[in-house]
Amino acid sequence: MSETVRAAVLAVDGGDSKTDVVLLDRRGGILGARRRKSSGHAGLGRLEALETIDGAIRSVCNEIGADPDRRPVADVGVYCLAGADLPLDDRRIGRDVSGRGWTRKNLVRNDTFAVLRAGTDRGWGVGIVCGAGMNCAGVGPDGRVVRFPALGEISGDLAAGGGWIGTQAIAHAMRAQDGRGPRTVLEELVPAHFKRTRPSAVVEAFYVGRLDHRRVAELPPLVFSAARQGDAVAQQIIDRVADEIVAFALASIRRLRLTARDVEVILGGGIFRTDDQGFLKRIERGVREVAPRAVLRRLESPPVVGAGLIGLDELGVARARAAGLRAVLTDARLTSPNSGRSAP
């Protein structure tokens, strides 16, 4: 990064399975971008997130010829992270980020806010993330904000994303094997995925640590496939997730008093990449029963676009730059970082 081209924004999107880091100039041009297949989840007790972010920042700096040890690397840092669920998380992560000195000004947000901002230029609406986990945030036209703790069952999360889907797949496969539940094709598909012979062997492998528990998040495509084949158990799992997404959206819409408005609901995360139209229509139908003018949209851009736009908003950059950033900051750009500088 030459002295004449200074990074204005460091945008970070950290989820359960990947972390995206992007440096932007003051016009919204991409100076460098990097994706790491490591968790950026910054929940309490997870210490690896900042190391993942630091490694990605160093990679981007090296890519553009900048010294990663010369701090700050940008004026404004926007850190949209899974695990930034409560105000106490925001404060804790803010202190940790400030201690690293990456940026002069630090904005800590939950990753749902990146999804929302990436999907709309209105400045208000509802953003839902459904990947390995699930969370939601809403912003009203008056600036009021709705958030959810998303701490698991203890905070009311009952069918929370891909991790839950995978756990249910294993559980129902086991119940089919031992007679506690109905037969399901998951009894064969689950052990085959993990190269085991029976569901009980899968359960044992997770129990003793031969399989990392995070691998349950690999199973949602298998469950969607089983549901399309007419498997009733798999369909029940998928329907419960759809209904939980609806519950999040409607809670936000009601609390923000938007049931009569054309509120945009932005759907981001790996689960929404499915082509299962029944799943998507169930969500749309459930939301519109209460908010008939709601507009549901699957996010096409990587959520780090939203983190970047939040940073540009902070700098007062014209929103006309948003479309250009969405066009150039793609998944392909993040996974092929040496493709050169891009400008919107």
Is 86 inside any structural domain?
yes
Average pLDDT over residues 86-99: 93
Q: Give the span between the Cα atoms of 340 and 145, in whole angstroms.
A: 38
The CA R_g of the chain, rounded to the nearest whole Å, is 21
Residue 338: the pLDDT is 61
pLDDT digits (tens, 9 = 90+) for 304-329: 999 999 999 999 887 777 778 899 99
92-96, 189-193, 211-215, 340-344, range with greatest mean pLDDT:
189-193
Q: For residue 25, tell me if it sits in a domain.
A: yes
Per-residue pLDDT of 128-173, as tens digits, reads: 999 999 999 999 999 999 999 998 899 999 999 999 999 999 999 9
- Backbone torsions φ then ψ of 193, nearest 5 degrees: -60, -40
Question: Directed axis angle between helix 304-314 and helix 321-328, to 10°?
Answer: 150
182 assigned to some structural domain: no
3-state class (DSSP) for residue 195: coil
pLDDT band at 4 (very low <50, low <70, confident <90, very high): very low
Cβ atoms within 10 A of the Cβ of 61, count? 22
Percent of the chain whose pLDDT exceeds 90 = 80
Q: Please report, for the domain that includes residue 82, its CATH number.
A: 3.30.420.40
Q: Output the pLDDT for position 277.
A: 95
Residues 227-242 have a mean pLDDT of 97
Residue 117 is which amino acid? R
Q: Are 106 and 77 a contacting pair, CB within 8 Å?
A: yes
pLDDT surpassing 60 at residue 339: no
pLDDT at 3: 46
Tokens, residue 116: 């929302």
Is residue 236 predicted with pLDDT exceeding 90?
yes
How high is the pLDDT of residue 340?
Answer: 55
What is the per-residue pLDDT for 85? Answer: 92
Structural domain count, the chain: 1
Q: In this predicted structure, what is the pLDDT of residue 29?
A: 92
| pLDDT value, residue 317 | 85
Residues with Cβ within 8 Å of residue 273, at least 6 apart in sequence: 298
The interaxial angle of helices 48-63 and 87-100, nearest 10 deg, is: 40
State yes or no: pLDDT of 343 exceeds 70: no
Instruction: Tell me whether residue 21 is in a domain.
Output: yes
Tell me the per-residue pLDDT of 260-286, one tens digit each, with 9 for 90 and over.
Answer: 999 999 999 999 999 999 999 999 999
Backbone torsion region of residue 144, taken as left when φ is above 0, otherwise alpha when ψ lies between -120 and 50, otherwise beta: beta
- Residue 40: the pLDDT is 84
- What range defines the domain where residue 314 resides? 9-111+301-335
Residue 197 pLDDT exceeds 70: yes
Q: Select from 44, 58, 83, 82 the least CA-distant residue to 1.
A: 58
Contact between 111 and 86 (Cβ < 8 Å): no
Residue whose C-alpha is closest to residue 99's, from 127, 63, 72: 72
Residue 134 belongs to a domain: no
The reply to whether 82 falls in a domain is: yes
Express each pLDDT in 246-260 by its tens digit: 999 999 999 999 999
Please provide the average confidence, as pLDDT, over all residues in the chain. 92
Residue 272 is assigned to a structural domain of this protein? no
Is 154 part of a structural domain of the chain? no
